[in-house]
Amino acid sequence: GAVVSQHPSWVICKSGTSVKIECRSLDFQATTMFWYRQFPKQSLMLMATSNEGSKATYEQGVEKDKFLINHASLTLSTLTVTSAHPEDSSFYICSARVTGSVGEQFFGPGTRLTVL
């Protein structure tokens, strides 16, 4: 089956620093990738839709200058949390949709971000 990886799997950083999270589709091309945020014991909240070669589409209430998304190739999307603060601590999950598919998304294992 299709595999999506994320790196790093967990990261601890100081307040004010920036953190980059990578999402890769390992065995398929993904024109579209999605970034979600999950708080403890809560559901996934869609943050943005990342399209290869174009600007990401952000959901209402998500600061695009805070969460920078770059989808430079058909197998890689990155999420950079800029000037991270403790309230940005969360579990970030990406998913990728196979190019030309009818909707199935494959999810990465998630990245646990802790901002001190």
Segment 23 to 82, residues that bind other proteins, using CB under 8 A: 32, 34, 42-44, 46, 49, 59
Nearer to other proteins, 19 or 93 (CB): 93
Q: Which helix (H) or strand (E) holds 36?
A: strand 32-38
- DSSP letter, residue 61: T
Nearest C-alpha neighbor of 91 from the set 111, 114, 107, 63: 111
Q: Which of 93, 96, 98, 115 binds other proteins (CB under 8 A)?
A: 93
Q: Note the residues at the interface with other proteins (CB under 8 A).
A: 4, 6, 32, 34, 42-44, 46, 49, 59, 93, 95, 97, 102-110, 112
